[in-house]
Structure 1
């Protein structure tokens, strides 16, 4: 039983090793640089300065953030809603507390009372 497990483990390791070797040997052609420009072939690599890079990688995401924020907050501002943190406090609620409707069952007055609906004991 253990020899079968060892054989399978060796087969998987050798397959992974061969796969890794193939990937590493074929990666040499992927690291080729742009060839020297000749008339009618490759164009030279464009130079990008620091300001252009900051605008590209910082300005565009910031612009997208501002547009999404305005699309989210804009309708509330157009309706004249107050968006300050204190304006969004919810009213106090007592969930499952006493109700004041006429059709409610009376609460039990003693331990032996059957009023009030469902009950349970241990």
Structure 2
């Protein structure tokens, strides 16, 4: 590395360190606690049970996930569909390919042929 690149790297690192120190120094006033309770002012901080917090913050989203999954999977299971990963592969399709119906029009044989249904020219 050239000395110019080293100077730039040191300048960026020192600027990042100074900004991190500034953020940490100014965060002290933001960590205030609830003031002492007086009549008609703040209520005391409630005690929160850790198990209750886990159930609310983890159980409710998990329950919503299970309900949404069941709403999408239950109709397929009721119809008796196979939901294994191998069963979800689509069938081979040839869109616009040859068909075997008897009433279809024949394809045009040459440039002047009118067979084949719709046609257009410029």
Q: TM-score range by the shorter chain?
A: 0.5 to 0.7
Q: Distance in 2 between matches of 1:10 and 1:90?
A: 56
Per the normalisation by structure 1, the TM-score is: 0.55
State the match for 1:81 in structure 2: 79
Secondary structure, counterpart of 1:45 in structure 2:
coil
**Unaligned runs of at least 5 residues, structure 1:** 96-100, 102-122
Task: Tell me, yes or no, if structure 1 residue 19 matches structure 2 residue 24.
Answer: no
Provide the TM-score with structure 2 as the length reference: 0.55
**CA separation of 1:76 and 1:48: change in aligned 2, threshold 3 A:** same
Partner deviation per Cα, 1:19-52 (whole Å, 9 max, x = no partner): 1210121121122222211223222112233553
Deviations 1:56-91 (A, max 9, x none): 1343123202210221023335xx4114557x7479
Residue correspondences, number: 95
Specify whether residues 61 and 94 from structure 1 end up closer, same or farther in structure 2 by C-alpha distance, changes over 3 A only: closer
Distance 1:72 1:4 in 2: 60
SS of residue paired to 2:79: coil
Partner of 1:29: 29
What is the rounded CA distance, in whole Å, between the counterparts of 1:50 and 1:63 in structure 2?
Answer: 19
Alpha-carbon distance in structure 2 between the residues aligned to 1:26 and 1:85: 56
Q: How big is the alpha-carbon RMSD for the aligned residues of Structure 1 and Structure 2?
A: 3.6
Q: Determine the structure 2 residue equivalent to 1:55.
A: 55
